[in-house]
Structure formats: C-alpha cells, structure tokens
Amino acid sequence: MRLFLGTGPYVRYDLGQRDPDAYLSFTGRTPEQVAAASFNNVELGLSLQVGMQVSRRVTLLVDWRYALTDLYAVPGDSDIYARGFRVGLAYGF
C-alpha cells in the first residue's frame, strides 16, 4: 500500500489557486465547484507513473495522466482535469 503526497490536482491546473479571477473567467466556475465535481467522475484513459526510490520506503514519483473519456458531474469541466501531471512522494508501508 502506498500513500501519495504530492501537488494534487494536477500541476497544470494550479491556476485556480494562483489567480482565482482568471480561473473563474476561464471555466465559469470557482475552483471549489470544479474540485467538488472531480470527486464524482468516471475516467477512462492512460496513466504513467515514473519513480525514483530515495529510501527504503519513499519514492519520488511523477504521475502523468491523459484521459480519453471523462464523465464529470459539472458539464464542460472535463478538459480542465483530463490532462496533466503531478509530482510528489509516495510512502510505502
């Protein structure tokens, strides 16, 4: 079992945290509304994880995702969370 501690949501979609006004004008929704919708989805796609073990239990991990199909609770937001990457640490226990 692994616990992933990373940038979550994908790095490309930090815009809402850095500039909420720009994010709102781009999506028509607040970052909170989109984040809430991301928990109610089904996704079919490709995911690639590349890691480098830095200790016996800790791995530095890059997780890249490209979604082929997105069924999101909030229509029109699938392109926002469908593609991107995140960087973090995975702790195995």
Element at 23 (helix H, strand E): helix 20-27
Confidence of residue 48 (pLDDT cuts 50, 70, 90): confident
Minimum mean pLDDT range among 7-21, 29-43, 75-89 = 7-21
* Neighbouring-strand partners of residue 6: 88
Q: Is 21 exposed, middle or buried (0-12, 13-18, 19+ CB in 10 A)?
A: exposed
Structurally, the chain folds into a number of domains equal to: 1
pTM above 0.85, yes or no: no
Tokens 């994010």 sit on residue: 23
* 77 or 52, higher pLDDT: 52
Strands (E), the chain: 2-6, 42-53, 58-71, 83-92
Residue 85 structural domain: 2-92
pLDDT over 70 for what percent of the chain?
25
Q: Report the 10 Å Cβ neighbour count for 23.
A: 20
